[in-house]
Structure 1
Amino acid sequence: MKLSDVFKSRGEFDLTSGDIGLPLFYLSLPIVITNLLQTAYNLADTFWIGQYSTEALAAISFAFPMVFLIISLGMGLAVAGSILVAQFTGADETEEAEYAASQTVGYAAIASVLVGAVAYVFVGDVLDLLGASPDVLTLATAYMEIISLGIFFMFGFLVFVSLMRGYGDTITPMLVMLGSVVLNIVLDPLLIFGWGPFPQWGIEGAAIATVFSRGLALVVGLWIMLSGRRGVRIRPKDVVPDLAYGRKLVRIGVPASVEGTGQAVAINLLMFIVGTFATPVVAAFGIGVRVFSVVFLPAIAVARGVETMAGQNIGAGKPDRAALAAGVAARTTFVVLTAAGVVTWLFADPLVGLFTNDTQVIEVGSTFLRYVAPSFGFIGIMRSYNGAFRGAGRTLTAAAVAVTMLGGIRLPIAWFASRIMGPPGIWMSFLISNVVGAVMAYLWFRRGTWRSGEPGGQNVSPVADEPADD
């Protein structure tokens, strides 16, 4: 089979007419691989740092949720830019799509500098508040200070991926990510252990490798968008922030930021609960979350594909087709992730053993995986419908579903159940919240209120009015 038979460019399929399944597949497959490669950053760090020391492994268990929180604070801009580009592309308004992309880049640059500066100043205090032990706190703070200084590069590449996806090009970001990940994997052991001419930087070496690799990826991404050779084009004169357009980005992006930030805050509060237990539990939790980040890649990718398909079809005045795409995605990801849950349950011990030789960590981590594995399929349902909400501009609806699932269900159960059952109470909170979140998203979608007030075709500027979120 030729590579071109698997990966098709945007010009080879139409997201607004014809079949649903194949275009969604061709759109989502590169996103799966892109997200897999992105996860490889974290997996490479987890693997090599796990070989370095258990304390360092516990440190990045605290650090990774913090990275997610920092990125989430500005993620709304990337989501807003992707939605606008998708809807303008579906409405066949190329100049508006390019202007939306350019404005997104300008505002994202400002936001990333501000967020990075604040994070650098306060990250140590936050990690201390989360309950990291003194040895772990020192390591986690050193890692996060370097990441904070590199947020501009990390967030900039996220914006590049989002804008290209909104246009319908998911192949180019995949290829750029591939080169960046290869570089990161090569640098990780060199900088962590001090191989060859490099000094031994330990956990800080992992952070330097990640920031440098993302920085190079951002340079390539900006060159691609400025040249206009692939995907959506940005123009330097349009990057200068337009306050009127900024309000539009904020209107759509703030709920998306609330969704991401709410998830990140919930994860960090969950880390506070986990941190009340011994270091092996913290390390096992970090490994389990990394495993989930790989398993859930199909759901995340298909949800992003649905977001693009829904956005372009809403822009083209075809909400029924957007709804059909969400339904196909939900059924497909439920089946795929349920099968992945069976595999994870059967092979939990060797999966955790990939990251550590500590028998106690393996025992706790495998129990964590077996508790959560039966609920994997429900994550696919929730993410698919949330992707449709976002594509329709209903970012507040998507935020309400996600934040309620985490803050209203998972956290309270984790806290009270862990006081009674110990760590298994935390694991149970994942199982229950995943199922309830899927039911909630499905019922909300079935109400059909997300369709009301959507843009009505090519003669209406997509997302021109205030979104009437539920």
Structure 2
Amino acid sequence: MTVPMIFGMIMLMTFSLVDTYFVSLLGTDQLAAISFTFPVTFTVISLNIGLGIGTSAVIGKFLGSGETSHAKAIASGSIMLSVLLVSVLCLFGYWMIQPVFTAMGASQQLLGYIHDYMSVWFLSGVFLAIPMVGNSILRAAGDTKTPSIIMATGGGINALLDPILIFGMGPIPAFGIQGAAIATCIAWAVCAVWILYLLAVQRNLIESRLLGFEDFKQAARGVLSIGLPAAGANMLTPIAGAILTAIVASYGAEAVAAWGVGSRLESMASILVLALSMSLPPFISQNFGANKFERIIDSYKLSLKFVMAWQLFMFAVLAITAPWVAAIFAKEQEVSEYIQLFLFIVPLGYGLQGIIILTNSSLNAMHKPMGALVLSIVRLFVCYVPFAYVGSTMFGLLGLFWGCVIANFVTAALSYYWFMKEVNQQKTIYEQNHASSVININKKATNE
């Protein structure tokens, strides 16, 4: 299930880096401006991820327990819900562009570029809601190939349109940094139409109509019970990212530009983790519904071992290629040096971060969203931000980067302990209930 997701994520993240590359050609200010937007855009994306997690967990458990009658209504309701909630969030975000980015430390010069980009991107955020939740429906049914194709196609359209809309071509004017947002909007609009046709017509996985209020309310309740805590947990990441971006901004636009490049490279380096975080939850949800706890434990441990080995390899690759990578994205020497410093330190914690991500997604799959939410709060606001801030005050950017690594180590150990405790508790409860049922059946048979 993970292999198709890896290829889809590779294509998507590669085109995301292409996006950053073309913007970097406009100058350091534009690169710094788009770097400021990452925490805000990821807030919208996190809401979509959370709703997708809720959708996948509910549908997956129904499929595992053999209850398929409600899956179609839940799928339809989840898409309607995502469009509604994301539209409200994007509208609010548009109104708050200036105060939010000013609070993050963006200069007046950068605010103009940020407004040009975000005023269009918020529209694409609404279109993104449909394919993200739609892909979760497909993954819950065991299909990870089609979502990968859709993600790759969206990324491909975005990368193809980037140079045309950013720099202009023929009758098409140069939109500058806004062109990158327009390309994203068009790409996800195409994917939204595609996934709706696929789900409603070809696969018959959703209703080809809008649900009535009562049906919508019932479907939304099940998705939100897991989706809201999951979305909250995911939305904490960009909030913490915004705080760290504000800390990095105190070192100048060059540091913010390097931080933005490093963040994009982090996403690229974490492709396997992100792919596993999408394929592992449906597997766990279905086995949870079937009460097969040993399979849950085996799949979880195997995933962690593989992620740690793979991310250690990725750290070596990034550390060795750091000078060449920095040369691609940086025109100024100071930016290049900051990028190299980032790549020599921060990727060391990517495997540990992978443990945290997979544990959170696994807790959601087992219908324990509050545990995932608490774990995210501890990771970001008890460990990640405080450790990075203390490191920054003592040793500058070097200390900030090492603080991120140490925070991941502490939280990874806690994550593993937490998940194993939850699984064993659920296993004990099931065994006790099963034993009680057997005793009751035997008593009934004896009485008869």
Normalised to the residue count of structure 2, the TM-score between the two structures is 0.91
Cα distance in structure 1, aligned partners of 2:200 and 2:424: 35
Which of 173, 176, 182 pairs up with 2:156? 182
Q: Is 1:425 the counterpart of 2:396 in the alignment? A: no
Cα distance in structure 2, aligned partners of 1:36 and 1:262: 25
Farther off after superposition, 440-449 or 265-274: 440-449
Once the two structures are TM-superposed, the CA of residue 132 in structure 1 deviates from its matched residue by 0.4
Aligned equivalent of 1:375: 349
| Amino acid across the alignment from 1:234 | I
1:69-89: per-residue Cα shift (whole Å, max 9, x none)?
Answer: 122234322211111111112
Written as runs of structure 1 = structure 2, the 5 A alignment for 1:28-427 is 28-229=2-203, 233-237=205-209, 239-241=211-213, 242-427=216-401
CA RMSD, Structure 1 to Structure 2 (Å): 2.0
**SS at 2:72's partner residue?**
helix
Once the two structures are TM-superposed, the CA of residue 435 in structure 1 deviates from its matched residue by 1.1
State whether residues 330 and 385 of structure 1, in contact with CA within 8 Å, keep that contact through their aligned partners in structure 2: no
Aligned equivalent of 2:437: none
Which structure shows the bigger proportion of residues in helix conformation? 2
Farther off after superposition, 287-296 or 104-113: 104-113
Cα distance in structure 2, aligned partners of 1:133 and 1:368: 23
**SS at 2:25's partner residue?**
helix
Once the two structures are TM-superposed, the CA of residue 417 in structure 1 deviates from its matched residue by 2.0
Farther off after superposition, 117-126 or 347-356: 347-356
Q: 1:214/1:451 Cα in 2 relative to 1: closer, same or farther (>3 Å)?
A: farther
| Amino acid across the alignment from 2:294 | D
**SS at 2:143's partner residue?**
coil
Farther off after superposition, 198-207 or 441-450: 441-450
Max Rg structure: 2
Cα distance in structure 1, aligned partners of 2:261 and 2:325: 9
State whether residues 314 and 455 of structure 1, in contact with CA within 8 Å, keep that contact through their aligned partners in structure 2: no
1:44-69: per-residue Cα shift (whole Å, max 9, x none)?
Answer: 22100101111000001001211001
**SS at 1:290's partner residue?**
helix
Cα distance in structure 1, aligned partners of 2:26 and 2:408: 33
Once the two structures are TM-superposed, the CA of residue 113 in structure 1 deviates from its matched residue by 1.5
**SS at 1:284's partner residue?**
helix
Once the two structures are TM-superposed, the CA of residue 237 in structure 1 deviates from its matched residue by 4.3
Cα distance in structure 2, aligned partners of 1:454 and 1:382: 24
1:196-237: per-residue Cα shift (whole Å, max 9, x none)?
Answer: 2211110000000001101101110110000143xx710134
Cα distance in structure 2, aligned partners of 1:412 and 1:450: 32
Q: 1:141/1:315 Cα in 2 relative to 1: closer, same or farther (>3 Å)?
A: same
Once the two structures are TM-superposed, the CA of residue 248 in structure 1 deviates from its matched residue by 2.1
Q: 1:137/1:251 Cα in 2 relative to 1: closer, same or farther (>3 Å)?
A: same
State whether residues 105 and 159 of structure 1, in contact with CA within 8 Å, keep that contact through their aligned partners in structure 2: yes
Q: Is 1:448 the counterpart of 2:422 in the alignment? A: yes
Farther off after superposition, 57-66 or 147-156: 147-156
Q: Where does structure 1 lack aligned partners over 5 or more consecutive residues?
A: 1-26, 458-470
State whether residues 392 and 450 of structure 1, in contact with CA within 8 Å, keep that contact through their aligned partners in structure 2: no
Cα distance in structure 1, aligned partners of 2:238 and 2:424: 25
Cα distance in structure 2, aligned partners of 1:160 and 1:234: 9
Cα distance in structure 2, aligned partners of 1:249 and 1:298: 26
Once the two structures are TM-superposed, the CA of residue 243 in structure 1 deviates from its matched residue by 1.9
State whether residues 191 and 209 of structure 1, in contact with CA within 8 Å, keep that contact through their aligned partners in structure 2: yes
Cα distance in structure 2, aligned partners of 1:282 and 1:421: 17
Once the two structures are TM-superposed, the CA of residue 351 in structure 1 deviates from its matched residue by 1.9
Once the two structures are TM-superposed, the CA of residue 311 in structure 1 deviates from its matched residue by 0.5
**Structure 1 stretches of 4+ moved >6 Å:** 453-457
Aligned equivalent of 1:8: none
Aligned equivalent of 1:460: none
Q: 1:119/1:333 Cα in 2 relative to 1: closer, same or farther (>3 Å)?
A: same
Q: 1:444/1:160 Cα in 2 relative to 1: closer, same or farther (>3 Å)?
A: same
Identity %: 28
State whether residues 73 and 115 of structure 1, in contact with CA within 8 Å, keep that contact through their aligned partners in structure 2: no
Farther off after superposition, 352-361 or 131-140: 352-361
**SS at 1:136's partner residue?**
helix
Q: Where does structure 2 lack aligned partners over 5 or more consecutive residues?
A: 432-448
